A and B are shown apart, each in its own frame.
Chain A
Amino acid sequence: MDLARRFDADPPATASPDAKRPQTATRKHRRTRIALAFIAPFGTLFALVFIVPILYAAYLSLFQQKLIGGDTFVGFANYGKLFRDPQFWDGVGRVFRFTLIQVPIMLIFAMALALALDGMRVHGAKFMRMTIFLPYAVPAIVSTLMWGFLLGVKYGLFGSLNDALGTDLDPFAPGTTLISIGLMVTWAFTGFNMLIFYAALKAVPRELYEAAAIDGANEFQVVRAIKVPALRGSLVVTTIFSIIGTFQMFNEPQILPSMVAGSGVTTFYTPNLYAYHLAFTGSQQGYAAALALVMAAITIAVAYAVQIRGLRNASDQ
Chain B
Amino acid sequence: MHPISSRRAEAGKASGTPTRHSGRARRLYTVGNPRKSTTLTVMTALFTLYCLLPLVWLVINATKSQADFVSSFGLAPGREFALWDNIVEVFGYQDGIFSRWLLNTVLYVVVGATVSTFLAALGGYALAKLDFTGKRVFLFVVLGSISVPGIALAIPQFLLFAQLGMTNTPWAILLPSFINPFGLYLMWVFTAEAVPTGLLEAAKIDGAGEFRTFLQIALPLLAPAGVTVLLFSFVSIWNNYFLPLIMLKDPAWYPLTVGISQWNKLGSTAGNGALIQNLVITSSLLTIIPMVVAFLGLQRYWRSGLSLGAVKG
Contacts and interface: CB of A to CB of B under 8 A. Distances in A.
Nearest to B53: A150
B147 A135 contact: no
A34 B130 contact: yes
Contacts of A206: 7, 11, 31-32
Contact of A289 (B43, B130, B155, B239): B155
Contact of A244 (B119, B146, B311): B146
Given A39-B127, A122-B37, A233-B311, A60 B242 contact: no
Given A60-B159, A210-B31, A123 B264 contact: no
B310 A196 contact: yes
Contact of A11 (B119, B192, B299): B192
A116 B175 CA distance: 41
A119 B133 contact: no
Interface stretch (A82-90, A96-104, A164-172, A291-299): A291-299
B41 A233 contact: no
Contacts of A76: none
Contacts of A244: 146-147, 149
B97 interface: no
A143 to B, nearest CB: 7
A101 to B, nearest CB: 18
Contacts of A141: 241, 257, 260-261, 264, 284
B157 A38 contact: no
Contact of A275 (B52, B120, B141, B152): B152
A126 B268 contact: no
Contact of A292 (B14, B40, B155, B313): B155
Interface residues of B, number: 124
A300 B144 contact: yes
- Main SS at interface, chain A: helix
Contacts of A35: 126, 130-132
A131 interface: yes
Interface string A170-198: 00000000000000000100110001111
A224 interface: no
Interface of A: 1-3, 6-7, 10-14, 16-18, 28, 31-32, 34-36, 38-39, 41-43, 45-46, 48-54, 56-57, 60, 109, 113, 116-128, 130-143, 145-147, 149-150, 155-157, 160, 187, 190-191, 195-200, 202-203, 205-206, 209-210, 213, 219, 230, 233-234, 237, 244, 247-248, 250-251, 258-259, 271-272, 275-276, 279-280, 285, 288-289, 292-293, 295-296, 299-300, 303
